[in-house]
Amino acid sequence: MNKETARFNMVEQQIRTWEVLDPKVLNACESVQRECFVPPAFEKLAFSDIEIELSFKQKMMTPKICARAAQALGVKTTDQILEIGTGSGYMSALLSSLGATVTSFEINETLAETARKNLRDANIQNCTVNNSDGLQTVHEMYDVIMLTGAISCRKPELEKQLQIGGRMFCMIGEPPSMQATLITRTAAKGWTAECLFETEITSLIGAERTKEFEF
């Protein structure tokens, strides 16, 4: 496999054609070596338009969903980013290349350690991976929040940890109907939600245990 040709085709044939046109995001997808974040057995599938199996029934999102999420979030170089669900660390690496810092939470110890190694090997120095349940953790305030797995409904307790003007990307719903949603905090007590597209991904570990709240 010619990795550079495969990476070029991934960007041009999958990501661009899915309405991802932000040059910063395209550059990030070209520079972050996705093949370094997949399990060795799936290296030949690193650039394919499929979810890649990780351990513990978790999966990497497809390249185009990662890119579309990054574009929707409109990450700035000064943004402090919270990620819940580190997985292999690939989305963490994309966000790290776009923002100032990434604080990521991975509930599974093995996945967390693998992600740390992948990020170290990729020389990503502005991302911290924590082995705990990010849905149950009291966080600081962030400019950007990224949920890499699905949740059954909105999480106001997380949305309140957005700075005013902050954005959160999440997949809301249950199989087979999930909506990629961009939530923006517009005021101290104001949020908007924009549905971007429909898809189906694996739920976050622990999401079913999180108490739901209503505004």
Q: What pLDDT sits at residue 215?
A: 41
Cα angle value 75/206/142 (rounded, 5°): 25
Q: What pLDDT sits at residue 212?
A: 45
Q: What is the pLDDT along the chain (215 residues), one digit of tens a residue?
A: 699 999 999 999 999 999 999 999 999 999 999 999 999 999 999 999 999 999 888 899 999 999 999 999 999 999 999 999 999 999 999 999 999 999 999 999 999 999 999 999 999 999 999 999 999 887 789 999 999 999 999 999 999 999 999 999 999 998 888 999 999 999 999 999 999 999 989 888 777 544 444 44
Q: What pLDDT sits at residue 1?
A: 65
In 42-154 the beta strands, taken as DSSP E runs, fall at 52-53, 59-60, 80-84, 101-105, 127-130, 142-151
* Kind of pairing between the strands at 59-60 and 52-53: antiparallel
Q: Is the pTM above the cut of 0.75? A: yes
For tokens 């599974």, name the residue: 108
What's the DSSP call for residue 14? I
Helix crossing, 63-73 with 23-31: angle to 10°? 140
- The number of angstroms, rounded, from the C-alpha of 22 to the middle of its chain's C-alpha atoms is 17
Please state, in angstroms and rounded to a whole number, the distance separating the CA atoms of residues 47 and 49.
Answer: 7
What's the DSSP call for residue 203? B
Q: How many C-beta atoms surround the C-beta of residue 201 within 10 A? A: 18
Q: What pLDDT sits at residue 211?
A: 45
Q: Alpha helix (H) ranges present in 56-174? A: 63-73, 90-98, 109-121, 156-159
Measured CA distances, 110 to 9, 85, 113, 122, 203 (Å): 32, 13, 5, 18, 18
Q: How far apart are the first and last CA of the chain?
A: 51
Q: What pLDDT sits at residue 139?
A: 77
Domain boundaries, the chain: 3-205
Are 98 and 77 in contact by the 8 Å Cβ rule? The answer is yes
Q: What pLDDT sits at residue 137?
A: 80
Q: For the domain bounded by 3-205, which CATH number is listed? A: 3.40.50.150
